[in-house]
Structure 1
Amino acid sequence: MPGRTPKRPRTPGLPRQGYICIKCRLKTGPVPLRGEQLGPVEKTAHQTFRLRKDTSAKPLPLPPALDPIVQEARSRWTQPKAQPDPHKFTPFQKRLYENAYAHALASPVRQCRATQALLPSSLLLTLHARENPTTNTPWILPVSLTSTSGRLGNGLRFTNRKFIVTELGVRKRWFALADRRFAEKIGHARLAKAVWREDMPEFLLSMLQKRAIEKLTWHIRHSGQLVPCASPRTEDIDGIGDVSCVLYLGSLHTPADDIQAEVQRISIALDNRANAYVEVMKDYIDPHRGKKAAHQPPSWYRGPLVPRLKPRLFIPPLEYKTTVWQGHMVAVFALFDLLGEEKTKELLKGTRFESERCVVMKRARHNVPVESALLQLQAYLAVPGP
């Protein structure tokens, strides 16, 4: 413009005059002086003082940001704790370090999206969304069961039970339970189109079985921590030292287990009949309906009470096979029930345990991954006892 000093032409490729790169500024910028770098100082147990030229004057305390004693005291509680040394463990710490249940309970606590229960992550299953390379459509898959990477992103967590997996697939209930971070990462529109496998319960079972077989293969063929025994009974395993768990190379199903399905069917029929009675007689037995209603029902009210089975009868506790060794409870894993008869026979084929009926696994740190895989598989297939 007229009256303005023309700009000086700049050589292409060279920075403007007075321009300093941010990286250069960070590298060559002034470094703040701290502690003794500021001059003669006097240190106490909690603070640093700078000495003055006038010896009669009181020393000046350094600012907390420049006092190394204060900075060290502040950062002492933020530094990560050093990892324990296994060579310096006490006998109790060694037993704890070799216990699969202790490792499971020490895992980070997470919330089950289906039951809202807070449980260790080792007792939960996690599903992640991954794109199908052919259709570019997200699929909900158990990536955590196959990947060794610890950074898989936000996932859909729920209790490790086959029954819950079956319920999540009914009418796309898993979509309503997806948390906000899981949905934002994929996108709400794309998450609504995500694919949930129709055979997800059986697919997860096959993945858990495959992982357990992979970990068992080496121990059965090479490890010396397996000791044959006659049976899981106490009198047959009490003479063996350091028993961690028992592998029964067969099935522990009894005729009472076959009746359990019929018992479950009768229980469901009784509950349905109670619900039908409430639906027909609600105008007469519900105090919040009809002309005699005095007030609105509270938020917790779910309907009138009618005779039903006790909760412990309708939903009995799950059954986990155990035995007693020297006064302690140890787990019993029936491989026929967990892996199937064909897979178990293929696993034992050509090994020294092919003709055995029962094997004891001794306590050791390298046996923890095997027991953890068997515990997850057992929890996935757990059913109420007869």
Structure 2
Amino acid sequence: MHAMVYRGPYKVRIEEKDIPPIEHPNDAIVRVTRAAICGSDLHLYHGMMPDTRVGMTFGHEFVGVVEQVGPSVERLQPGDRVMVPFNIYCGSCFFCARGLYSNCHNVNPNATAVGGIYGYSHTCGGYDGGQAEYVRVPFADVGPSPIPEWLEEDDAVLLTDALSTGYFGAQLADIVEGDVVVVFGAGPVGLFAARSAWLMGAGRVIVVDHLEYRLEKARTFAYAETVNFVEHDDVVVELKRLTDYLGADRVIDAVGAEADGNLLQHVTSAKLKLQGGSPVALNWAIDSVRKGGTVSVMGAYGPMFSAVKFGDAMNKGLTLRTNQAPVKRQWPRLLEHVRSGYLRPSDIVTHRIPLEHIAEGYHLFSSKLDGCIKPLIVPSAA
């Protein structure tokens, strides 16, 4: 099969790999029909995620058709169209039993916090991802779900991470009717978080970013007010000004560790095997939320060696809510929202890139060229 292969920082290419075999009776092999490049993939692309090994295939957002199932799989059969959550989880451990699918205890021997994630380094289990023509899907009776007949694949693939994560970020914020909500980051997850805030009763939504084309999307897709932080000496002061100098009721950090990173972060990630992380957006969130407010964090962070203003958070009486999204838990509500016409996930898609051109796709997305907000990947076998 053709698959994207990592060859070092800023080096990805298409290579021939063996079609993955069934390794466990609960496995399925899925022929990928749509995949995507996620903003968090750029941490891998830039060499900022520890234990990202040469030869790995990225991609944790994908949908496809079941080609083969292991002898123990009961809920899927060849020919089923399925969407696959980015979480790999067993469905039966202490954490899965409580709906914490992103914290599964049985699928990742290399970490005590996060469970397994497709195509996201050996820190997250070492599973190959879906930026390929075929992918092995473990625990096939637990994670994947059939795609409803009425749902287009371009929409379904966004439920496997970006939409579910944005919706989860709004959930974590505990929004109540009339709240002022600030979202840091106007990438796909931030856009979906801002749009989801309205579904949860927000009275006002403000999105902060520095790229004007993304802020325009926040205005037209998420119906949000926008703030370009490079236009202000202090973005926190501007947000306070916009909120009667009290601060927002809820703030959502959809940025996480900046994917570009600085020199120190590249050295600590590539040489010391520690992921670079900057707390700038998180500190802005802590500073711009009102006292007694809530900060929601679902941006991708690794170990950080810069100071987070935890003392300020404590003294302001803030509630901090965090996690990787348990994707499948969001699907019943999101599918109803999509079917009812409250949102169309694919409205944020700006580019559809053939798998054989994925290196150009990473460059386009990483360098913020051509107004790229969300690129989908289309394998030739689709």
Normalised by the size of structure 2, how large is the TM-score?
0.23
Larger Rg: 1
| Greater per-residue strand proportion | 2
Normalised by the size of structure 1, how large is the TM-score?
0.23
